[in-house]
């Protein structure tokens, strides 16, 4: 699919299999979410702008680069919180915004209950974090919010995606880059990804 990157690295796929396993305990599940998210961030940040920088080593001066922008990480609460801290260890200078969304189980529409974003995101690369891209409702709602703050370059990072969710995002926000560890078969009649890994939020937070 265009503008979709499936990260097939062996370490990502190994950890994803453990995440899918219903027998994986919550503590390990939480750790694996962080591991996969960090590995995926390497790919999602591949095209970040850099600027030249010169430093002095213990021997001589060396030419190098630095990030021109640290970017903004925006987890969709609550499950996206499980991806945030490991990513901040990789990019400690990143700004952080939060979007709280819950799904109406009857209509499957995303309802915003919290928004805390930088006043302007125009000059930043924005990464929206959520383990699951299912119907696309939450992703589209988050994209609406960050673009309302001026964001031009937004990437979505998900552990799993459903074809329906990818189509929904690209129908409303064409050109949005999506990074995922797998594209699963479909959604069931409750809007859950099949085969998926269950409710990521519940499994992260032991409910």
Q: Would you name the residues annotated as active-site residues?
A: 103, 107, 199, 202
Report the 10 Å Cβ neighbour count for 65: 10
User: What are the backbone dihedrals phi and psi of residue 16, each rounded to the nearest 5 degrees, phi first?
Assistant: -60, -40
DSSP SS3 for 97: coil
Which 8-state DSSP code applies to residue 68?
A: S
Task: Kindly give, in sequence order, each residue whose CB lies less than 8 Å from that of residue 102, ignoring residues fewer than 6 positions away.
Answer: 110, 111, 113
DSSP SS3 for 67: strand
Beta bridge mates, 160: 132
Which 8-state DSSP code applies to residue 198?
A: S
User: What are the backbone dihedrals phi and psi of residue 109, each rounded to the nearest 5 degrees, phi first?
Assistant: -85, 150
DSSP SS3 for 194: strand
Angle formed at CA 134 by CA 192 and CA 189, multiple of 5 degrees:
35
Task: Kindly give, in sequence order, each residue whose CB lies less than 8 Å from that of residue 35, ignoring residues fewer than 6 positions away.
Answer: 11, 15, 86
């Amino acid at each position: 699919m265009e503008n979709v990157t499936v990260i097939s690295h062996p370490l990502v796929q190994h950890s994803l299999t453990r995440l899918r396993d219903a027998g994986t305990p919550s503590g390990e599940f939480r750790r694996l979410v962080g591991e996969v998210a960090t590995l995926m961030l390497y790919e999602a940040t591949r095209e970040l702008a850099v600027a030249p920088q010169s430093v002095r080593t213990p021997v001589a001066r060396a030419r190098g680069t630095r990030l021109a922008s640290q970017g903004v990480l925006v987890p969709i609460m609550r499950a996206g919180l499980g991806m945030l801290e490991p990513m901040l260890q990789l990019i400690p200078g990143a700004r952080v915004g939060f979007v709280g969304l819950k799904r109406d189980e009857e209509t499957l529409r995303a309802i915003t209950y919290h928004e805390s974003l930088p006043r302007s995101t125009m000059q930043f690369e924005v990464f929206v974090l959520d383990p699951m891209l299912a119907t696309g409702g939450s992703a589209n709602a988050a994209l609406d919010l960050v673009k309302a703050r001026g964001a031009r370059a937004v990437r979505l990072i998900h552990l799993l995606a459903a074809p329906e969710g990818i189509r929904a995002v690209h129908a409303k926000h064409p050109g949005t880059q999506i990074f995922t560890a797998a594209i699963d078969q479909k959604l069931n009649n409750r809007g859950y990804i099949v085969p998926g890994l269950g409710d990521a939020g519940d499994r992260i937070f032991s409910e």
